[in-house]
Structure formats: structure tokens, C-alpha cells
Amino acid sequence: MKINPVRLVDEFMRLVEMDSQTYHERPLADYVMERMRALKMFVLEDDAGEKIGGNSGNIYGLMRGDDSLPPLMFCAHLDTVEPSRGKRATLAPNGRIASAGDTVLGADDLTGVAVILEALTVLSESGLRHGPIEVLFTVAEEVYCKGSRVFDFSKVLSEQAYVLDLAGPVGTAAYAAPSIVTLTITVRGRAAHAGFEPQKGVHAIAAAADAISRLKLGFVDDETTVNIGLIEGGKATNIVPDVCVVRGEVRSLRHDKAMKRAQYIAGEFERAAKAIGAEAEADITIAATAYETPLDHPVVSRFERACRQVRLTPSLIKTFGGSDNNELALNNITGLVVACAMFRCHSTKEYTTVEELTRAAELTLALMTADA
Ligand SMILES: [Zn+2]
């Protein structure tokens, strides 16, 4: 039994036509539950929706298998970034699948969802031997993995996972990802009329600008980046601004480096504020925690074996993007983030191809059966 490319593409196009913006994954969640139940899988929805303010929980599915083989988890996220409402997929004669151009396609991460459903369908139709397979379809991944963060991992059987949520050619997998630490810094000065008595004001924007100008942005070393992404402050052109709020992030493949750099940045704002009689207060939040899966781990060797089985050359990389795999790692599940036929994600130019989508499904099926 093999992957059926026609069924797979149909499935993907159907998923694209369901709206599933972050916090609004309900229609897609209902659909994947129905699909898994039809495959006689045990299916559960958790209470993540209530916890994070969305209309759907994370969806968990279990396909029973040979208990003498290690259980494996396959994970993808249901939510898509904006603009995605009313998205439609168009299939060109050359096999390229794109949106109409005014929305994202949602290949991130509906290719992952489609590929997992197709591989499960082949398994249920065939006599192929496999171990227990757990599926986790998460919500709100695009907002720093809020869905998987509240999932209860205590009943999960698997100690190994494949997260299908990576751009790039199929055969690529990420074994390391960074900590992402976000900063919200509020600089408080004092307002004054800019014409009558500017000397009585304490210029919050000037203090923030001074601090930012001292920061090294971009790569600060080969495994750490810094960005200031948002700045807002001031009320009118004739008022010395009393408040300036600055938001940014630090990423590092080493958690301690990310934390140290975030604290250093907070300190720069405090110093710059103090120098002119203002105050700065920093709120530092850990949005993702770095992990590195050892390259000699069985989860890696199974991936390499499965790649060769479907004639792909495995390529193991470090990524600077976070994913649900960061949350799995925090819960002692060792995983890889696997490329699943998505290209130019988070843009209206996003696309996939029939060829790559089929390869991703073949690879997923090979992973599910590699231990048999
Ligand atoms: Zn994604």
C-alpha cells in the first residue's frame, strides 16, 4: 500500500478551504477529529480553547499498534497566520499549489496535517506493521506555541516525536532550535508643553532612542540574535512624551545566553533612562526554550533510515525558528522538526507542490513503519 497523491492533494485543498486562523481553529479541529475517528482511532480534545481564549482545544489521536515497537508521536499545528480568511488553493498544471494571491496558502502547517492524515489512512488500509502512533494537532502555535504549552503531556506514551512544521526541501529536519525571550520595556519620563516649558519635561522617547542606539542588533554572536521590533510613545507633536514602550526579542541556541542578553538589554534601558531622570521597567518573558536533540539519538537514526528508504538525502540542520518541538522537549519528548513541503511561509506567495507534498507523505509513512 502506498501514498495516494490524488487523495493527498484533495485532502490538502479541502483543509485550505477551512478557515483556521489562530484562536479560531474549530472547523478544522472538528474535521480532523472526524477523519481520525473514521480510521477507528481514539480521539480526544483538551481544554486548551478555554485556557487560552480560542474556540478549539488541542486534538489528540491514538492509533493502536504493535506494543513491542516504540510509540511515536506526530505533531502539526492547526492554526494559520493572517491574512488567511477565505483562502483558496489553486493547482497549476506544473503541480504548484498556491493561494489566489490575497491570502497565505496555509501550507504552514496544513501540509503537515494533510500528510499525517494521508499516512494514517494508508496504515489503516494496509497490513503494514507499526507501533502505537500518537497524533497531536495543536492550536495557537503561531503565537509562541500557546496551545501545546497548556497540553497535558502526562498521559502521552511516546518518548520520541516528529513535528511536521519546517520549510525547505523534504528530507531536511531541524535538531536544534533557540530559546526565544521577548522583552517589553516601558520608559517613563514626564510630560510638559514642548513650547512653553520643555525644560520641565523628561523625554521618554529620547531615553529609549539612546538605549536602542547602544544595542547591537541582528546577530550578536553566531548563535544569538537581537531585534527591537516595535516602538510606540508620545501623544502630540507639542508635548514632551512621558511614556515610550519598546518591544523586542532575543533568540539564542543557548538558553543562558538568551536570558543574559535580555537582562543586559533591560539594563541598557535602565541606564539610559536614569541618565535623564526617567525610569525604565522591563518585562522579560520566555516564549520558547532552546533544545538540541543528540545526533546519535534513535529519533535521528530512524529519520535517516526513513529518508533513505524513500530515496531522499537526509539533511540535519539547526533552525532559528521555534515550534511545538520546543514544548515537547520541555516535556521530555525528544524530537525533530521535519520539512513537510511548505515554501515562502507567512506570505501571500506561500506555496507547495504535488511532488514535494507526496514526498513528505511517503517520508511520514516510512517514519511510522521504520521500526517494523
Ligand atoms: Zn508552522
For residue 70, report the distance from its CA to the centre of ligand 1, in Å: 26
Tens digits of per-residue pLDDT, 16-69?
999 999 999 999 999 999 999 999 999 999 999 999 999 999 999 999 999 999
Kindly report the length of the chain: 372
Tens digits of per-residue pLDDT, 223-264?
999 999 999 999 999 999 999 999 999 999 999 999 999 999
Question: Of 173, 125, 95, which is closest to residue 365 (Cα–Cα)?
Answer: 125
Question: Does the annotation count 109 as an active-site position?
Answer: no
For residue 112, report the distance from its CA to the centre of ligand 1, in Å: 9
For residue 178, report the distance from its CA to the centre of ligand 1, in Å: 15
Question: Of 31, 27, 30, 60, which is closest to residue 43 (Cα–Cα)?
Answer: 60
For residue 109, report the distance from its CA to the centre of ligand 1, in Å: 5
At residue 1 the predicted structure's pLDDT band, cuts being 50, 70 and 90, is low
Burial of 94 (C-beta count, 10 Å sphere; 0-12/13-18/19+): exposed
For residue 140, report the distance from its CA to the centre of ligand 1, in Å: 10
Q: Kindly give, in sequence order, each residue whose CB lies less than 8 Å from that of residue 116, ignoring residues fewer than 6 positions away.
A: 74, 76, 135, 164, 364
User: What are the φ and ψ backbone dihedral angles of 304, each rounded to 5 degrees?
Assistant: -65, -40
Q: Which structural domains are found in the chain, ordered by start?
A: 5-177+290-369 (3.40.630.10), 179-288 (3.30.70.360)
Question: Does the annotation count 79 as an active-site position?
Answer: yes
Catalytic residue among 11, 25, 79, 371: 79
Q: What does the alpha-carbon distance between residue 213 and residue 42 come to, in Å, rounded to a whole number?
A: 55
Helix spans in the chain (H): 5-16, 26-38, 48-52, 107-125, 146-149, 204-214, 255-275, 298-309, 324-330, 354-369
Asked if 302 and 371 touch (Cβ cutoff 8 Å), the reply is yes
Tens digits of per-residue pLDDT, 67-106?
999 999 999 999 999 999 999 999 999 999 999 999 999 9
Joined grid coordinates for residue 154: 502526562
For residue 153, report the distance from its CA to the centre of ligand 1, in Å: 20
Catalytic residue among 25, 108, 141, 371: 141
Query: Residue 136 pairs with which residues in a beta bridge?
Result: 60, 75
